[in-house]
Structure 1
Amino acid sequence: MQGSANLNLMIKAARKAGRSLVKDFREVENLQVSVKGAGDFVSRADLAAERIIRDELMAARPNYGWMAEESEAVEGTDPTRRWIVDPLDGTTNFLHGLPHWAVSIALEHKGEIVAGVVLDPAKDELFWAEKGAGAWMNETRIRVSGRRRMSEALFATGVPFGAKKTLPATMRDLARLMPACAGVRRWGAAALDLAYTAAGRLDGYWERELNAWDIAAGILLVREAGGLVEGLREGQNPLESGSVIAANADLFAPLAETLRAPA
């Protein structure tokens, strides 16, 4: 695997956190059927994974900034670079014993994602990319799908839950899109939805109300695999807006047109 020193550092940190999470996941599979439930245990597993990643990355690059789900952001002495980390994307899946969750690590340089790693430890699939060097899964180069017809396309999204306010908009999206395509999946891990789009398993993906750490690495994967990524509104930066559309070059326009049509 030929990558920069930073990419190799990210992969090492992701794998170390992944091993910790796999160990905890085996425990969760027992806990989640108990009366007490697995919630507190999972939050501890999440925090432990973030601590592992932070220790690895910040020890090697103490001057970089830090942004992650479970801790306060840190401004680095090098203001041009920061790590963007989700130690456990797909926490609800993890909590329920579903083996579909990931570790996501991205490196931002001057406002642009230049390296990204999404590790699915349960399936031993490592998705990684560096700007200008293509996208890979383990040792294999990946590309977005070659499908051109909406009627053959498989998409993914997230369906809002809890206190999120975008359920009506998402239901409207589904009502418009589902008659026109081959299906929509709701996997519950944004980082893997983007990785699967990069690998051609999905033809596209969209979602609202996301955080930068959910999608930073995945956005680079899709772009380096030949796909297009934008915000749900034209001109939006997905990392800032928290909304994203990703697809192959042929399907991006019809997908975006469907999702952006006036209510």
Structure 2
Amino acid sequence: MDALLRDAIEAARLARGIHLYYLEKGFSQSTKSGPTDLVTQADREAEAAIRRFLMERHPDHVVLGEEEGQQGEGAFRWIVDPLDGTVNFAHGFPFFAVSIALEIDGAIQLGVVLDSTRDELFTAIRGRGAYLNSRPLRVSQTGTLIGSLLATGFPYDVNKDPENLQYFERVLRKGLTVRRPGAAALDLAYVAAGRLEGFWEVKLNPWDVAAGWLLIEEAGGTVTGIHGEPYALGNRYLVASNGRIHQELLDTLHGR
């Protein structure tokens, strides 16, 4: 697993180099599902670089990426978001990252989230803890929702997918503090690092959460579905916390 983690870190650093190159030199961009669903040269080239690197090292593995999907099947599957926070990146807002996880026989075994502008490297191997630049991570000790800092995110078109608006309103009406930074992988990493007490979002994809999910669990936190059920990759409803506020957060989201 140590060798696999080194490969994930090297692949993430390749992607970070591409992010920073285009951030300085400029880039072209286009849209996918709608006018605010952006994709840039950096997204595509970062994913291509990650794929090439991982497949050269591990030709019997498969890669699931945000931009190119997945070809084939295998017991070892890399789950890649080459640039999480594309809208932030496109506007020069410095909150975006690369996220890489490795799933083995259906279970996430390692995860890497690399903040491109801060060069903060979040890593985890199942059963061996979570780390930020090699320092051990633990979730926050805050025990009440009122003393917590929370984060969430919204889909590209809330008119088509308005569901999170009701959850957001319920949280705000309780006078709670919420941020909307715009990169789920980093939001999850921040829960693991104790910078946030909780995070929830709907309509997430595997590449958004695979690495961050493991980071939180290895840092002592809790990740579930929206009703408190065990989280499973592919569940598009996710609630994450330090564990201490989890039930209170779930109750608030559901208006209880």
State the partner residue of 1:137.
132
Q: Which 5+ residue runs of structure 1 have no aligned equivalent? A: 32-37
CA contact (8 A) 1:68 1:213 kept: yes
Q: Percent identity?
A: 43
Match of 2:209 in 1: 215
By how many angstroms is 1:6 displaced? Answer: 0.4
Instruction: Give the alignment of 1:78-93 within 5 angstroms.
Output: 79-93=74-88
Select 1:48's aligned residue among 22, 45, 50.
45
Aligned pairs for 1:145-160 (under 5 A) are: 145-160=140-155
2:220 to 202, 220, 226: 226
2:98 corresponding residue in structure 1: 103
Q: Give the whole-Å Cα distance in 2 for the aligned partners of 1:198 and 1:53.
A: 25
Q: CA deviation at 1:63?
A: 0.6
Q: How does 1:10-49 map to 2 (within 5 A)?
A: 10-28=8-26, 38-40=28-30, 43-49=40-46
Note if contact 2:139-2:221 (Cα within 8 Å) is conserved in structure 1: yes
**Do the aligned partners of residues 113 and 164 (structure 1) sit closer, same or farther apart at CA in structure 2, a change above 3 Å counting?**
farther
- Write the deviation string for residues 168-214 of structure 1: whole angstroms up to 9, x where unpaired: x3221122112435410000000000000000000010000111001
Conserved in 2, the CA contact under 8 Å of 1:238 and 1:244?
no
1:17 is matched by which residue type in structure 2? A
Which residue matches 2:239?
245
Q: Superposition RMSD on alpha carbons, in Å?
A: 1.8
- Rounded Cα–Cα distance in structure 2 between residues aligned with 1:146 and 1:163: 33
Task: Give the counterpart of 2:55 among 51, 54, 58.
Answer: 58
**Deviation, structure 1 residue 234:** 3.7
Cα deviations by residue, 1:84-136 (Å, 9 ceiling, x for unpaired): 00000000000111111000000001211100000001001000100001000
**Offset at 1:163?**
6.2
Any idea what the Cα deviations from partners look like across 1:30-67, whole Å, max 9, x if unmatched?
x7xxxxxx524962111110111111111111111211
TM-score, normalised with respect to structure 1:
0.89
| Preserved contact between residue 154 and residue 183 of structure 1 (Cα < 8 Å) | yes
Distance 1:253 1:163 in 2: 26
> Using the alignment, how far apart are the partners of 2:106 and 2:81 within structure 1?
18
**Would you tell me which structure has more helix in proportion to its own residues?**
1
In structure 2, the residue matched to 1:259 is 253
TM-score normalised to structure 2 length: 0.91
